[in-house]
A and B are shown apart, each in its own frame.
Chain A
Amino acid sequence: MCGITGIFSYHYASTSVKREELRLIRDQMAARGPDGKGEWFSQDGRVGLGHRRLAIIDLSDAGAQPMSNEDGSVVLVYNGEIYNYRELRAELEGQGVKFFSHSDTEVILRLYETMGDSLCSKLRGMFAFGLWDAKKNALLLARGPCGIKPLYYANDGWTFRFASQVKALLKSPAVSKDPEPAGVVGFFLLGSVPEPFTLYQEIRALPAGSFMWVDSCGPAQTQKYFNFNEAYWAGAERYRTTPVENIKEVIWQALRESVQAHLTADVPVGLFLSSGIDSTLLLALAATLSTEPMRTITLAFDEYRDTSQDEAPLAAKTAAHYGAQHSTYRLTRNEFNDDLPKVFEAMDQPTIDGINTYFISKAAKARDLKVALSGIGGDELLGGYSSFSIIPKWRKIAFIPALVPFSGEIFRGLFDAFLGPVGIFHPKFSGLLKFGGTTSGAYFLKRGLYMPWELKKFLSRDIFENGLERLNLTRRLKSSLVPSPKSDFARVSILESQWYLRNQLLRDTDWASMAHSLEVRTPYVDATLFKQLAPLFALMKPRENKAWITDSFKADLPAEVLQRKKTGFTVPMPVWLHERTNAKPLSSRQSQLWARTWARSVGQEMAV
């Protein structure tokens, strides 16, 4: 895991790359790569690449970056992990390709030499890279299929700059800080900034599962090489006639294979353990696959000690069950308050989540871990969220009334006049008929933070109006369902994966773990696993697949984990944050709307 950056003065009128500027951007990402730094500049001064290294595979200097081939015609900076690099290497060696290191970086380099930009679909893992091809006089930028690793770029029309973090790009005096209203509005609507937007007009995210060429004419249109929808769309038929026993075997094999792949490293791999099924399942699989005992970590809070909300006892039992070296990290209010400024410093873009990951990563780092597995993505893949059952229900209720012209506006008016002031319903309820009639709209209703019309209360008119228009959230949500998968389960899974998981969970995991130089791996977020299981899950009813999984592992999982009702991960942070500035305790209404209050504070801290 690393931090990467590059500057390409592609336009004939642009000035040469300034070394100092590249270093400024690169070293802003020092926490992403404390083990080394590197830079490379083309002879004509038009291209510069920079790298901060966190060494995990091939710890020697041979794995250092920027890495170039023998004649210097291809130079690469890359951030991520390729789990099938050994297989790919063997394949290439079979074709006579010679290697000088044992790193996965070189595998990407050689693969590019062999097959050009179609290499992306061969890679299993999480990645983002920038590759300079001197013969083509062009730069290739690519990002992994699930968007686990971030990649941002800023193009001013003369010069193209990219980096792993928005805040790194902001270090460059040449990158415009003009605000992007769509990013601001998107944050308040959803709780995280939806890609490709950032808070800045000039800085954009390279969309997950795509690559982009930049030549002397500047960036060309991004090209998509992986589409989740197609995986759901195609291939479901092959499972229709598969016997039940075989399906269980398919699921088990696919998960096992993914966990095995994610254990690939030249350093010990730990695991974030909660008392839920997803992380327990990971441990169950990892324990059988790892030669060493797994090192597990649980985040717990003193406030919850001896209550049903305390995850620590069950997690410790589970760990003992699998013979793991377990540790519980108890976060105190004082530590939380002390670290809060550092959290904001590490937060790359505003988000209402990520604090848990920040502290559990801190705990992992304190136990000398460089790599840890996390169960995030399990709920999106396996249908663990309540959204899988609620969204189709809402849609059924709202579908017909929403067809009546202006019903959305009338309902909203009535709600604001009568139900809103009562204070029992969440203000989002006013959008029931406006959005609830479609799957994508109902998804926004479920995941949204504010309704669009609420934003004008605290955003300037310019940002509010311009932002809503530029973001065009309804259209964007709809278009993420094209081609539309055939089942409700698949539709919700797609929306959860492409919005909440990508823009919130994965991005937060990245900055929060990188702040402690920890690489977090997510075996449930894996394109290969997804391709294997998505068509199967597409056939299932909500929650049915989770039951399948549990059934498959019943014999092996601790009974208490299976019996534990899913409560959602609760944290005392709202109370802590509230009590930092308020003498009165958090009321139940304030607690209901806490995410909104928090979003406003984050907005202020991040100068939104």
Chain B
Amino acid sequence: MTDAFGGHGGIAQYNRDFLTALSGIEEVSDIVVLPRLAAEKNFRVPEKITQLKPVFHPVIYGFRALWLALTRGPFDLIFCGHVYMSFLAGIVSGITGKPYWLQIYGIEAWQRQKRLNVYFSERASQILSISRFSRRKFLSWATLDPERVKILPATADMSRFVPGAKSKLLLQRWGLEGCQVILTVSRLDSSERYKGHSLIIKTMPSLIKKFKKLRYVISGNGNDKKCLEQLASQLGVEKEVIFLGEVDEALKPELYRLADVFVMPSKKEGFGIVYLEAMASGIPVIAGNKDGSVDPLRDGENGRLVNPDDPREIVAAIEDQLSGAKNETIATSKFAFCNFKNHLLRILKLNFPERFACNEKLYA
């Protein structure tokens, strides 16, 4: 896989949850993870998991993976954490004679892949997709029995992200006392402009006419930050748009709780774990209706879906949320870790009926 423990971003988070769930299943005895990246050096891994040193070079990674499969096994299952690596996973699977699973997340799996990757993606014994949208996009270029693609949605730590009062300390630190706050948490990469930060900045001049003490707080860093800052000053809302940069992971729960509404009208989300974290923190969420975002928002039951190409719709949704009362009982429990783990067990049972036949357990 690309990264898991010690990694940043949504994919690493998902992989960590996946591996943690897998390690918690009784019948699973040994998990060896070969990542390509690990940003952090100090991290803890759950029992039964060995995470090896990352190997970034794709060719060396390939040989390392093959060597590992042949010498450190025998393994029962090869897990491929990126569609770009399906070629390698297919080869390893062919040589070892063991099945391989392919995980698809978002944009990486939406477009038709190179011929070899298509060939090997179609030969995965099980494909797991993070969302319905990614599944549909994957099936638009992969020709296989669609029932082989199951969905294992992302999960969030519901014990960490809980509703609560705004932290006075943070309000003070970021100058948000007495303000209503719109929040977006994501990378600010010029290749990921589809997330919609600029759209919200552009709505600020009209919003502040109605909501005098309104702030748009952007958490995250990236090479697009300067551009966005420029845009804010061009529109004369540089005071109202606050760039926090990268916020420490430990502060995240408190960060969400500062918000009155979490907005990210993205067009290319595979799923969007941040929506889940915001909702678990009791913050109303506004997201786009054209991608995987509809999954954490459960088609609008958990939050408000808008057309991300229609600024008027976005403004109207934000105004509604800022004028209305804050709803602290958003039903995010569906995405609790135990459901994630139990569903993974069901899928394991389907693939290895004999190995998991006796496991009638439901994890709490």
- B125 interface residue per 8 A CB criterion: no
Contact A178 B150 (CB under 8 A): no
Q: How far is the CA of A14 from the CA of B295 in the complex (A)?
A: 9
B-facing mask of A186-212, CB < 8 A → 1, else 0? 000000000000000110100000000
Contact stretch, chosen from B138-146, B217-225, B238-246: B138-146
- B343 interface residue per 8 A CB criterion: yes
Q: How far is the CA of A158 from the CA of B140 in the complex (A)?
A: 18
Contact B135 A157 (CB under 8 A): yes
Q: How far is the CA of A594 from the CA of B8 in the complex (A)?
A: 62
Quick one: closest A residue to B300, CB to CB? A15
Quick one: closest A residue to B134, CB to CB? A157
Contact A201 B139 (CB under 8 A): yes
Question: Would A221 and B140 be within 8 Å (CB), given that A15-B299, A15-B301, A157-B151 are in contact?
Answer: no
Residues of chain A with a CB closer than 8 A to B347's CB? 217
Quick one: closest B residue to A180, CB to CB? B140
- B280: min CB distance to chain A, Å: 14
- A302: min CB distance to chain B, Å: 49
Contact A178 B136 (CB under 8 A): yes
**Size of the chain B interface, CB-CB below 8 angstroms:** 28
Residues of chain A with a CB closer than 8 A to B299's CB? 15, 174
Cβ-defined partner of A155 (8 Å) among B146, B334, B339: B146
A-facing mask of B149-171, CB < 8 A → 1, else 0? 11101000000000000000000
Contact B132 A156 (CB under 8 A): yes
Interface residues in B113-154 by Cβ distance below 8 A to A read: 129, 131-132, 135-136, 139-141, 143, 145-147, 149-151, 153
A-facing mask of B264-301, CB < 8 A → 1, else 0? 00000000000000000000000000000001001101
Q: How far is the CA of A155 from the CA of B146 in the complex (A)?
A: 9
Q: How far is the CA of A401 from the CA of B129 in the complex (A)?
A: 48
**Size of the chain A interface, CB-CB below 8 angstroms:** 25
Contact B140 A13 (CB under 8 A): no
Interface residues in B288-318 by Cβ distance below 8 A to A read: 295, 298-299, 301
- A218 interface residue per 8 A CB criterion: yes
- B350 interface residue per 8 A CB criterion: yes
Cβ-defined partner of A218 (8 Å) among B139, B150, B153, B295: B150
Question: Would A155 and B147 be within 8 Å (CB), given that A13-B335, A174-B299 are in contact?
Answer: yes
Contact A201 B140 (CB under 8 A): yes
Residues of chain A with a CB closer than 8 A to B202's CB? none
Cβ-defined partner of B153 (8 Å) among A13, A201, A219: A13
- A470 interface residue per 8 A CB criterion: yes
Quick one: closest B residue to A179, CB to CB? B140
- B131: min CB distance to chain A, Å: 8
Residues of chain B with a CB closer than 8 A to A204's CB? 146
Residues of chain B with a CB closer than 8 A to A216's CB? 343, 346
Residues of chain B with a CB closer than 8 A to A156's CB? 132, 135-136
- B340: min CB distance to chain A, Å: 9
- A453 interface residue per 8 A CB criterion: no
Quick one: closest A residue to B347, CB to CB? A217
Cβ-defined partner of A176 (8 Å) among B136, B145, B147, B150: B136
A-B residue pairs, 10 tightest by C-beta: A157-B151, A157-B132, A157-B135, A219-B147, A12-B339, A470-B143, A156-B132, A13-B334, A217-B346, A13-B153
* Additional A-B contact list (19), CB under 8 Å, known A13-B298, A157-B149, A178-B140: A11-B343, A12-B343, A13-B153, A15-B298, A15-B301, A155-B147, A156-B136, A157-B132, A157-B150, A157-B151, A201-B140, A216-B346, A217-B343, A218-B147, A220-B350, A221-B145, A221-B147, A469-B143, A470-B143
Residues of B participating in the A interface, judged by any CB pair closer than 8 Å = 129, 131-132, 135-136, 139-141, 143, 145-147, 149-151, 153, 295, 298-299, 301, 334-335, 339, 342-343, 346-347, 350
Q: Show 5 residue pairs from A and B whose CB-CB distance is below 8 angstroms, ordered by the A residue.
A: A14-B298, A15-B299, A157-B135, A157-B150, A470-B143
